[in-house]
A and B are shown apart, each in its own frame.
Chain A
Amino acid sequence: DTEVTQTPKHLVMGMTNKKSLKCEQHMGHRAMYWYKQKAKKPPELMFVYSYEKLSINESVPSRFSPECPNSSLLNLHLHALQPEDSALYLCASSPRLAGGSYEQYFGPGTRLTVT
């Protein structure tokens, strides 16, 4: 099973709302990632978790708050977002963190629209 699942598929939220994105994998991977992808652009890394600990935060605004409750689950809590935060949010996982031949497996993404 090489599947990463993400819910919801689509999300529309107002600037004062609080919502969460969920990502799950059951491949035993110990590294999980959040990416943001704007239309017609490549994905941009936001956060990396390794063994349920935050390893990288790419200077992401605090209105995005990641959480890794266990090794299979990754959440992204959203609060007071701006319209420019509208994007496709991709979750990924990989078998290990450091070193290269381990590809990242991506989920289908959540398309977020902030109104």
Chain B
Amino acid sequence: AQKITQTQPGMFVQEKEAVTLDCTYDTSDPSYGLFWYKQPSSGEMIFLIYQGSYDQQNATEGRYSLNFQKARKSANLVISASQLGDSAMYFCAMSDYTGTASKLTFGTGTRLQVTL
């Protein structure tokens, strides 16, 4: 069974600073995908970034980068130059590759507060 662990229930960061949100995972599958989603208070889950288990390079999308350390089974999200609009809940998720279906397993989330 897959498991995602996010150990930081809440984080604070000052505007314009960088912040790292931690995510570790556990799976016996050699092939998997890791995702980060942002959920503002409005409720919508916004896709941020994806990392495949066979990808050699760390994924980047604008101000978001994923620090993928396969041996440590970690997939931390780095947000550079934080903005007030980054305040939200952030979920790390892993996809389960089965023959007939793809399921996302989510971590418990980290609430990020960006301050002035």
Interface residues of chain A, those whose CB is within 8 Å of chain B, are: 31, 41-43, 45, 48, 50, 55-56, 88, 90, 92, 94, 96-109, 111
CA distance A50 to B109 in the complex (A): 28
CB of B45 within 8 A of CB of A48, answer no
5 A-B pairs closest in CB distance: A100-B33, A42-B106, A106-B45, A109-B43, A108-B44
CB of A43 within 8 A of CB of B106, answer yes
- Cβ of B32: which chain A residues have Cβ within 8 Å of it? 100
CB of A111 within 8 A of CB of B98, answer no
CA distance A56 to B100 in the complex (A): 9
Contact of A103 among B31, B44, B47 (CB under 8 A): B47
CA distance A36 to B91 in the complex (A): 15
CB of A42 within 8 A of CB of B50, answer no
CB of A99 within 8 A of CB of B102, answer yes
CB contact under 8 A between A42 and B102, given known A98-B97, A106-B45, A109-B43: no
CA distance A100 to B104 in the complex (A): 10
CB of A108 within 8 A of CB of B43, answer yes
Any A CB within 8 A of the CB of B95: yes
Contact of B100 among A50, A103, A108, A109 (CB under 8 A): A50
CB of A45 within 8 A of CB of B103, answer yes
- Cβ of A99: which chain B residues have Cβ within 8 Å of it? 97, 102
CB of A48 within 8 A of CB of B43, answer no
- Cβ of B44: which chain A residues have Cβ within 8 Å of it? 106-109
User: Distance (Å) between the CB of A30 and the closest chain B CB?
Assistant: 12
- Cβ of B60: which chain A residues have Cβ within 8 Å of it? none
Most buried by A among B35, B42, B101, B109: B101
- Cβ of B31: which chain A residues have Cβ within 8 Å of it? 100
Any A CB within 8 A of the CB of B108: yes
Contact of A111 among B43, B97, B101 (CB under 8 A): B43
Any A CB within 8 A of the CB of B30: no
